[in-house]
Each structure stands twice: as structure tokens, then as C-alpha cells.
Amino acid sequence: MSKKSSNRTTSNKRGARKGLTRGTTISSRKLSKTDFTEGEDLEIEIDAERPETRDDCRLSERPCPYVSCKYHLYLDVNPRTGSIKLNFPDLEVWELPETCALDVAERGGMTLEEVGELLNLTRERIRQVESKGIDKLRDEQDEEIVP
């Protein structure tokens, strides 16, 4: 039996993900075995230049080099497991058309198709996430109404 390729592409022939490589997740177990001591000096230097407010960020260079920012579109960190998902494993940060979720939000409404293309997800997955978020907002609103 042949081993599956790590660069799987979606079978979706239509829509936002056509021909794009699926996101790759790096488990926290694998990360714990990695030596990051080489980048510690670079991290201190980068953190010193990091914008502190949205206004500072809005005026800084694009594409945004701060991939550890929670609004950066290049990667996602799962707070529960500590795993890292690379949303665009076949692209470098500077090759992304958009890098900041806050910049995208300021532009206003987008279709599910456009959001899917931006996040390297299918339109259906974007719809599911949107629905779950709306449900959470409704639950919070219901809790505030009850005395």
C-alpha cells in the first residue's frame, strides 16, 4: 500500500479551495520535541517592534510579519491542545493576498465564497463556523436577558 501524500488537495472542483493544499496541523507533542533555542534572539528583536494597538498595526507594513498575532491568517493555535494549524502550508507569509483578519473585517461584508478563499476553507465549513458563532451570540444574549 502506498503512503498518503502530506500535501493533499481537496476534491472540490468548484469553489474557493480549487487546487489549494489543505491546511496542515502540527501537534503539540511534535512541537515539544523541537528545539527553538536558535530563534530566541530573533523573537526578542521582533517583539520589541510589534505594534501595541490597532492604530499602530493598521499603519504597519503589509503583509504583516507577526504570524504569532491571533488575528494573523497564516496560522491558528488551538488553545485547548496547543497544536498549530498552518492554513496555507504551500505558501510563504509574504505570498498571502491578506494577512490580517482585522483588515478584512474593516472592509465590511464578504460572501461565504470570499471568506473561504481567504481562509483556505470550503464555503460549507465557513457557513458552519458562522452558524456556530451566531448560536453562541444568541446564547450570551439570552443569558443577559434572564435576571
pLDDT in tens, 40-92: 565 556 666 778 888 888 888 888 888 888 889 999 888 888 888 988 888 88
pTM of the model: 0.64
Of residues 66 and 7, more confidently modeled: 66
Residue-wise pLDDT for 93-118, tens only, equals 889 889 998 998 898 889 999 999 88
Which CB contacts under 8 angstroms, 24+ apart, belong to 58-65?
58/102, 58/103, 62/99, 62/100, 62/103, 63/93, 63/94, 63/96, 63/99, 64/93, 64/99, 64/100, 65/93
Cα Rg of the chain (Å, integer): 18
Query: Which residue type occupies 36?
Result: F
The most confident of 36-40, 98-102, 124-128, by mean pLDDT: 124-128
Query: Which residue type occupies 66?
Result: Y
